């Protein structure tokens, strides 16, 4: 009975390993590959456990223990250095099938953003990319705070209960100014093109 | 004699069931990694063999070895995995949210977006 269970388990583990390898090969981002590598590591440890059950020895148990201890270090180290995904990439992935349209998001500062451009096209494909300017066009206002934080290399404080408000307000004051400075020269040509067309 | 044979049979059956459960968790992780559309949903699938599958396989190994000492070591390994798996999942998920490795159109509700928007609007939080 144990032999049959071992064979079944090995087949299931092999299928899981194949799926994990497929995701490592295909994965669009490095984070997908990281979590697939975690699964791969667990599957290797599981294979060793099955081998220990079959041959009735305990040689590999320390591998399992050490895997549990240090297995997360790779994911933590890589996740610190993931680049922000570009808006074109986001649009190309989500514009194929859009059964659930995204909820309308209000701009970060209603007065400033609305006055500078009344009909700001939020379609990320039509807005041109500008290299060298921090605030990316066509970005969700709700996540631009996070991505600007990520790009600036800002490390938050550990105990940020009260000081978090100060940081957030400073960040919110900086972001719209860069926003209004960056947008009008870039989007006036596109608006004129729209009027001509 | 007969009772010990029965105990062996029962223990072997329990170990076999646990082995197959562990293999099924790994199969679920593989299928989920291939089929699911998003980083965060793939993370949901990837955590199955890390905790429950490893627990099942380690308990099956400890049962098949018939020793209490290895049960302690096995539970040590599983406890360490239980401590470190949420750390990596939290870091990967946070990094995936910040760098937008997610399908926003597949979400039904994004609780973090309202918090981020509130902070970026510089409205002081109503509670606390």
The band of A195, judged by pLDDT with boundaries at 50, 70 and 90, is very low
Is the CB of A82 less than 8 angstroms away from the CB of B104? no
- C-alpha–C-alpha distance, residues A102 and B105, integer Å: 6
Among A39-53, A160-174, B90-104, name the one with the lowest average pLDDT.
A160-174
Does residue A68 sit in the same domain as residue A131? no
Around Cβ A153, how many Cβ atoms within 10 Å? Answer: 6
The band of A138, judged by pLDDT with boundaries at 50, 70 and 90, is low
The band of B39, judged by pLDDT with boundaries at 50, 70 and 90, is confident
Contacts of B97 in chain A (CB under 8 A): 143, 146
State which H helix or E strand residue B81 sits in.
helix B68-98
Does residue A154 sit in the same domain as residue A118? yes
Residue A136 Rama label (left phi>0; alpha psi -120 to 50; beta): beta
Tens digits of per-residue pLDDT, A65-81?
Answer: 998 888 888 888 888 88
| pLDDT for residue A22 is more than 90 | yes
A84 occurs within a structural domain: no
Count interface pairs A-B at CB distance under 8 A: 240
- C-alpha–C-alpha distance, residues A34 and A177, integer Å: 37
Around Cβ A165, how many Cβ atoms within 10 Å? Answer: 14
Does residue A39 sit in the same domain as residue A113? no
Q: Which residues contact A28 (CB under 8 A, 6 or more apart)?
A: A93
- C-alpha–C-alpha distance, residues A185 and B39, integer Å: 36
pLDDT at A190 (0 to 100): 43
pLDDT at A142 (0 to 100): 53
Can you read off the two tokens belonging to residue B30?
């593989």
Q: Average pLDDT, stretch A106-118?
A: 45
For all residues of chain A together, what is the average pLDDT?
66
Does residue A174 sit in the same domain as residue A109? yes
Q: Does B102 touch chain A (CB under 8 A)?
A: no
| pLDDT for residue B21 is more than 90 | yes
Q: Does A38 touch chain B (CB under 8 A)?
A: yes
Which residue do the tokens 């099956």 mark? B60
Does residue A180 sit in the same domain as residue A109? yes
A85 occurs within a structural domain: no
Compare all CA atoms of chain A with the CA of B46 and give the residue at the minimum distance. Answer: A39
Does residue A10 sit in the same domain as residue A72? yes
Report which of residues A140 and B19 the model is more confident about.
B19
Tens digits of per-residue pLDDT, A83-101?
Answer: 777 766 666 655 444 444 4
Write the residue in B30, B105, B116 that is nearest to A100 by C-beta: B105
Compare all CA atoms of chain B with the CA of A51 and give the residue at the minimum distance. Answer: B61
Which residue do the tokens 């990319």 mark? A129
Is the CB of A168 less than 8 angstroms away from the CB of B74? no
pLDDT at A152 (0 to 100): 60
Domain that holds residue A136: 102-196
pLDDT at B102 (0 to 100): 75
Is the CB of B99 less than 8 angstroms away from the CB of A150? yes
**Polymer length in residues for chain A:** 197
Structurally, chain A folds into a number of domains equal to: 2
Q: Average pLDDT, stretch B32-54?
A: 89
Does residue A167 sit in the same domain as residue A109? yes
Can you read off the two tokens belonging to residue A133?
């300017």
A91 occurs within a structural domain: no
Determine contact, residues B104/A102, Cβ cutoff 8 Å.
yes
Q: Does B58 touch chain A (CB under 8 A)?
A: yes
Is the CB of B104 less than 8 angstroms away from the CB of A18? no
Give the residue from B107, B100, B96, B42 showing the smallest Cα distance to A89: B100
List the single best residue of A14, A16, A154, A155 to mutate versus B (max B Cβ within 10 A).
A16
Q: Average pLDDT, stretch A177-195?
A: 43
For all residues of chain B together, what is the average pLDDT?
85
Can you read off the two tokens belonging to residue A7?
């064979």
Domains of chain B by residue range: 2-100
How far does B71 lie from chain A, in Å, by closest CA?
11
List the single best residue of B6, B17, B30 to mutate versus A (max A Cβ within 10 A).
B30
Residue A129 Rama label (left phi>0; alpha psi -120 to 50; beta): beta
Does residue A133 sit in the same domain as residue A51? no
């Amino acid at each position: 009975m144990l032999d049959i269970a071992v064979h079944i388990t090995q087949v299931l583990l092999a299928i899981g390993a194949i799926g994990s390898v497929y995701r490592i090969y295909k994965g669009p981002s490095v984070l997908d590959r990281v979590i697939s590598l975690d699964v791969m590591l667990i599957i290797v440890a599981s294979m060793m456990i099955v081998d220990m059950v079959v041959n009735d020895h305990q040689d590999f148990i320390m591998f399992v223990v050490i895997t549990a201890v240090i297995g997360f270090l790779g994911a933590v180290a890589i996740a610190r250095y993931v680049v922000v995904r570009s808006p074109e990439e986001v649009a190309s992935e989500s514009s194929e099938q859009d059964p659930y349209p995204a909820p309308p998001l209000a701009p970060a500062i209603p007065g400033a953003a609305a006055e500078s451009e009344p009909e700001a096209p939020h379609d990320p494909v039509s807005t041109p990319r500008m290299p060298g300017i921090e605030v990316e066009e066509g970005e969700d206002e709700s996540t631009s705070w996070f991505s600007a934080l990520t790009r600036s290399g800002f490390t938050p404080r550990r105990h940020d209960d009260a000081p978090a408000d100060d940081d957030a307000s400073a960040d919110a004051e900086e972001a719209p100014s860069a926003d209004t400075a960056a947008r009008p020269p870039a989007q006036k040509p596109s608006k004129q093109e729209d009027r001509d067309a | 004699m007969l009772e010990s044979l029965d105990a062996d049979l029962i223990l072997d059956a329990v170990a076999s069931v646990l082995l197959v459960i562990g293999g099924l968790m790994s199969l679920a992780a593989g299928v989920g990694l291939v089929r699911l559309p998003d980083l965060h949903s793939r993370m949901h699938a990837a955590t199955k063999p890390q905790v429950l599958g490893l627990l099942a396989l380690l308990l099956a190994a400890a049962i098949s070895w018939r020793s209490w000492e290895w049960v302690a070591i096995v539970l040590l390994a599983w406890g360490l995995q239980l401590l470190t798996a949420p750390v990596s999942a939290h870091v990967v998920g946070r990094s995936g949210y910040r760098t937008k490795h997610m399908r926003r159109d597949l979400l039904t509700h994004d609780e973090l977006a309202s918090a981020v928007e509130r902070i970026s609007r510089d409205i002081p939080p109503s509670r606390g």
